[in-house]
Structure 1
């Protein structure tokens, strides 16, 4: 039996808003498990809809008192009623209900069984809406958890890198002092050199880890400049110095095409990309190996190539080569490669608007090539104005 006393139940709630309670009494038996509640007027509707949101509400246009068309816009603004289907019923005054936001209109001459069928269809739709809302809420909770974990991870990485950089740099400086001391025996000097190279490798890992997180979070702001042939040569020389003493045991060849058109790039980030690629080449070549760096232009882009004649890359590693931690493997020298340096290279090059790729054959070396866009006309005009 319909009642104005609401009880919490899993079955859907249907409001029949009308001063004539018999309308609810006739509809209730045909709706099975649905709870049908008679709502006599607009004031009761406003109050009870907040307590037990209905899945479907039949709004009879001839309901006495405050017109339902006046309260319907207020009801539609409530978040808890977002899934409610509002149906105007009557023979007159339906236009006002439609304008106020009714989802559909039905004649009051419709037989109870036919009206019940329409309500059951709407209850099915309302149930689907509730299910979808539940799934969305679940996904939102997962997203919130993921974002929280990402924030914690970023804070941890940032803290670790900043706490590690200074002591690592201090250790590198002390090892360099010890290595230059003539009193150190030659065999010990070699061990100091290895220790310094490994310490520098650790510093590169820490810095790359921080920069990868920055780029992924969109927090690395490039400081682009116009880069010409002489600056490319200077940046490559700086990158060689960043790689460490192990490079002295390799043959390094640099070829920068003269008279290059200006490229817009961040010199410091470009230096880091080149240092990572040269370091990667060094790790995969033996003493006496050849590493080549070449810069030239094709079409509307500058191309930078770093190749070596080392061990090469297995075909199964190529697809995930630039994904951090995914191509981890031992190098020729027994060093575990996290791939963080190549991940940084990919993100940094793409941040410039270029792209990077690798070509390799096992036992025949590897070639890494990346592109950078040329400066636009407006950039060149700004440079001319700066010089004049």
Structure 2
């Protein structure tokens, strides 16, 4: 069995009987003599001494120059160095990298006690290095899995997006056909809504991964109230025909310019509106309103649906989490609200929900309004 660093002590120089006397004092430690520096440098890779004792007079003698080189040598990086020399040499030896300096006349039992302390330290350091290697190995495996997961998500979304978009276009064409029976038209609207929902799920999944990886960068613009109203109308269209049987009201308050990424803001609003649609029944009420509070624009989406159980709220904005309560039984990854939270934080804002069981929910997105200093960095659109 190859001894570990804490079980191997090497001795260079001194009387021939010194290694055996030290070994008699050190239980469980192998003490081996070495004849010169070359022998130290030729040690097998798996043999790493916990400590080396060097007695004054051992070749090559110029230890203040040699010791720094030995400390950097592969296989000796974690080794401790105990040098026996004259007291006037101790300062220069310590500066060169000696861990301990002692007089040449130190008795073997005291020398063994000092060496034992160094060997215990070597054992502790080896245990820490082993743990570090395990952590690095686990981290490398996690990073590899993350890369594979990112590539898989990216491939899935891009491979799904084009056919889903094509299906939506075909459904729109069929929906405009006057020969379509009324009952088939209702089924077609359901198919169109579910296909649009599938497209949003896949896009949310990709965007959440991008934001988490720091790969999605905001393309800010200064948005006026009129431009915000256009974004709201676009997000209503993104949600689809399902909103046609809801009572949707829009109320946008006067505001100073808002610095935001219009595409990302449109996606956030579409997700919040889609969430409200999912939790309300036909003729249910959905309100989208804004108000200015201090230096923030508060944009809220309120519904009169079934509400969210209090125990579900703390994890509502986490990926792959959703309220266990839903009126329509539609599967959801929870990526929509996770995307909203990450997008809000990317803008320097925040998002929260207020809900009461049986009385609906109110999601509020708070975004900082622009000051004059921001206007040089973004494009002003009115």
* Same structural fold, with TM-score higher than 0.5 when normalized by the shorter chain: yes
1:195 aligns with 2:207: no
1:147 aligns with 2:143: yes
Summarize deviations over 1:345-375 as a string: whole Å, max 9, x none.
0111111111111110111100111111222
1:282-308 Cα deviation digits (max 9, x unpaired): 110111111111122212222111111
Select which of 38, 42, 45 maps to 1:43: 38
Q: Secondary structure at the match of 2:10?
A: strand
Q: Distance in 2 between matches of 1:322 and 1:51?
A: 51
Partner of 1:173: 169
> In the alignment, what sits opposite 1:132?
128
Kept in 1: contact 2:304–2:359 (CA 8 A): yes
Tell me, yes or no, if structure 1 residue 74 matches structure 2 residue 69.
Answer: yes
Secondary structure class of the residue paired with 2:363? strand
Partner deviation per Cα, 1:310-367 (whole Å, 9 max, x = no partner): 1100111101100111226352112122211001101111111111111101111001
Distance 1:79 1:46 in 2: 9
Task: After TM superposition, give the deviation of residue 382 of structure 1 in Å.
Answer: 5.7
- Show the counterpart of 2:202: 206
Show structure 2 runs of 5+ residues with no match. none
* Equivalent of 1:55 in 29, 33, 50: 50
Aligned to 1:241: 237
1:300 aligns with 2:283: no
Equivalent residue number for residue 317 of structure 1 = 312
User: Does the CA contact (< 8 Å) of 1:42 and 1:67 recur in 2?
Assistant: no
Q: CA–CA distance in 2 between the matches of 1:291 and 1:319? A: 23
Quote the residue 1:113 is aligned against: 109
Counterparts in 2 of 1:239-318, with a 5 A limit?
A: 239-258=235-254, 260-318=255-313
Equivalent pair of 1:13/1:35 in contact (CA under 8 Å) = yes
Asked if 1:378 corresponds to 2:373, the answer is yes
Give, in whole Å, the separation in 1 of the partners of 2:290 and 2:102.
Answer: 75
1:17 equivalent in alignment to 2:16:
no
Matched position secondary structure for 2:59: coil
Tell me, what secondary structure is at the counterpart of 1:313? coil
SS of match in other structure, 2:42: helix
Aligned to 1:21, what secondary structure does the other structure show?
coil
Asked if structure 2 preserves the Cα contact closer than 8 Å seen for 1:328 and 1:337, the reply is: no
TM-score relative to the length of structure 1: 0.92
Q: Over residues 191-225 of structure 1, what are the superposed CA-to-partner deviations in whole Å (9 max), with x where a residue is unaligned? A: 01100100000000010011011111111111011
1:223 and 1:326 map into 2 onto residues whose CA distance is 28
Q: Is the 8 A contact 2:220 2:378 kept in 1?
A: no
3-state SS of 1:329 partner? coil
Distance 1:36 1:49 in 2: 16
Tell me the number of residue pairs that the alignment of Structure 1 and Structure 2 aligns: 379
Task: Flag the 1:209–1:265 CA change in 2: closer, same or farther, 3 A.
Answer: same
Write the distance in 2 (CA, Å) between the matches of 1:240 and 1:160.
26
What is the Cα-based RMSD across aligned positions, in Å?
Answer: 2.0
Q: Secondary structure at the match of 1:81?
A: coil
Shift of 1:376: 3.8
Q: Distance in 2 between matches of 1:180 and 1:199?
A: 17
In the alignment, the residues of structure 2 paired with residue 199 and residue 291 of structure 1 have an alpha-carbon distance, to the nearest angstrom, of 22
Distance 1:229 1:79, change over 3 A: farther
**Greater RCO (CA < 8 Å, at least 6 residues apart):** 2
| 8 Å CA contact 1:42, 1:68 repeated in 2 | no
Contact 2:309 2:323 in 1 (8 A): no
Uncovered stretches (5+) of structure 1, i.e. residues with no partner: 1-6
